[in-house]
Amino acid sequence: QITLKESGPTLVKPTQTLTLTCTFSGFSLSTSGVGVGWIRQPPGKALEWLALIYWDDDKRYSPSLKSRLTITKDTSKNQVVLTMTNMDPVDTATYYCAQSIAALDYWGQGTLVTVSS
């Protein structure tokens, strides 16, 4: 059974750095072809893809956010970490992580992050 779960702060202040952790089970990020990505969804709005890391440490970022994002993996802990710098109220959203093989195959439940002073 494949599961993913996001964890991190629910509230951050403007200009702070957000660090989110995706802890997964049921698959390995050392298996060829496997990736883990991050997607966000502002309240009442559509999905926005942020970043993805592959089994071989290949990393991809949304061009509009690339300067603010860093994605890393810890294969031994079955975790993927996303950091986003210089948070702004417009970054308020539910943040999801998802396993990627065919597309975005399995998703975590999401974590709501609010940016407010």
Partner 1 sequence: EIVMTQSPATLSVSPGERATLSCRASQSVSSNLAWYQQKPGQAPRLLIYGASTRATGIPARFSGSGSGTEFTLTISSLQSEDFAVYYCQQYNNWPLWTFGQGTKVEIK
* Site membership for partner 1, residue 103 (CB under 8 A): yes
Q: Which stretch binds partner 1 (CB under 8 A): 9-17, 21-29, 84-92, 100-108?
A: 100-108
Strand 18-25, strand 35-41: pairing: unpaired
When asked if residue 43 is in the footprint of partner 1 (CB under 8 A), the reply is: no
Query: Footprint of partner 1 on residues 59-88 (CB under 8 A)?
Result: 60-63, 66
Q: Which is nearer to partner 1, 21 or 62 (CB)?
A: 62
Contact between residue 8 and residue 30 where contact means Cβ atoms under 8 Å apart: no
Smaller CB separation from partner 1, 27 or 96: 96
Question: b/e per residue, 33-62, with b = 16+ CB within 10 A?
Answer: ebbbbbbbeeeeeeeeebbbbbbeeeeebb
Minimum distance from residue 71 beta carbon to partner 1 (Å): 13
Q: Which residues bind partner 1 (CB under 8 A)?
A: 37, 46-49, 52, 60-63, 66, 96, 102-110
